[in-house]
Structure 1
Amino acid sequence: MEFSDLNIRFRGTTPFVFYFENVHLLLLTYERDDAKFLFRIASQSGTDVTLDYPGETFVERVLDTLSKVFFVQVQEGEEAEAEEYVLGSYFELNGKLYAAYYQREKVDGEVVLFRLEGDTPDYLLEPLEGDEYQRTASYFLENYV
């Protein structure tokens, strides 16, 4: 048996798959220690995923950039209950930063888009409207779905 044939699982972790710019990543979180480990998804075939460590500098950059906006709560309207969302992709379009989020507890839940305003890591999430929403949604669908 070769090492590449092993099926490895990490007990106590929660995996999150997302894009940072054009890099496909896997974040493993350990709630007990609030530890986070980041890997680049080098390839994927069916249920097989090959991971690569992208280097300490890259990991620090990603975690520092997204630390305050990776997990968010979205509330549509004053009467609605807030729902937990997780980052699906972080990207730049026409000189502006955007983030696409999916519902944390729903596999096929809706995706919501926000423009990120301000400086890293203290971004404000601004909802999109009109033409900006259409352009951003088209770009997201073309590049990340």
Structure 2
Amino acid sequence: MQWENPRYAFPKAKQYAFLFENAHLMLFSWNRDDAKFLFLIREQREDGLVLDYPGETFTQRVLDTVQSIFFVQVQEDGGAPRRYVLGSYFLAGQQAYGAYYPVEGHGSEVVLFRVEGEAPDLRLEVPEEDEYEEAARAFAEQHHDFIEVQGANR
């Protein structure tokens, strides 16, 4: 039996929308079991999202790639540490980058990091100013419909 317009809610799950190489995804995470489920966002409607299962191979590839770099904590000179969550894993040429937004609140602030290493042992590096500008341009071109980069200041 299939329902015409089912609606589901996961009230105890934390939900994170992000892009992975141009695929728009939703990660559901439960702290209790450290369980994570990944869905492809097929469509956004007024009454919610249409989600689809992307398959085990794709799910494992994405989770293996981003799990260790999904959340980051950034400490700027003299400031309190801030937590960020991955908004996009994207390529600019042959180089991978992560675009992050603040965990608390969803303002327009986006911070970019260069992704180094091989999954699952990835690490993030702060790009130099010229590289940051190039990555910001690539990000804006690829994802202008989803997130805006407010400039290369970090």
* TM over 0.5, shorter chain: yes
Aligned equivalents of 1:105, 1:47: Cα separation in 2: 24
Q: Give secondary structure in 2 for the equivalent of 1:116.
A: strand
Gaps in structure 2 of 5+ consecutive residues: 148-154
Aligned equivalents of 1:20, 1:122: Cα separation in 2: 17
**Matched ranges for 1:55-134 at <5 A:** 55-77=55-77, 79-134=78-133
Report deviation, 1:115: 0.4
Q: Give secondary structure in 2 for the equivalent of 1:11.
A: coil
Report deviation, 1:110: 1.4
Counterpart of 1:28 in structure 2 is 28
Counterpart of 1:142 in structure 2 is 141
- After superposition, what is the alpha-carbon deviation per residue over 1:98-126, rounded to whole angstroms, capped at 9, x for unaligned? 00000001111511000011121222211
Report deviation, 1:33: 0.9
Aligned equivalents of 1:106, 1:48: Cα separation in 2: 20
Q: What amino acid sits opposite 2:86 in the alignment? A: L
TM-score, length basis structure 1: 0.92
Q: Percent identity at matched positions?
A: 48
Aligned equivalents of 2:110, 2:103: Cα separation in 1: 10
Q: Give secondary structure in 2 for the equivalent of 1:27.
A: strand
Aligned equivalents of 2:7, 2:61: Cα separation in 1: 29
Aligned equivalents of 1:11, 1:4: Cα separation in 2: 22
- Once superposed, what is the RMSD of the aligned Cα atoms? 1.4
Q: What amino acid sits opposite 2:60 in the alignment? A: E
Aligned equivalents of 2:4, 2:94: Cα separation in 1: 41
Report deviation, 1:45: 2.4
TM-score, length basis structure 2: 0.87
Check 1:93–1:33 CA distance in 2 against 1; reply closer, same or farther (3 A cut).
Answer: same
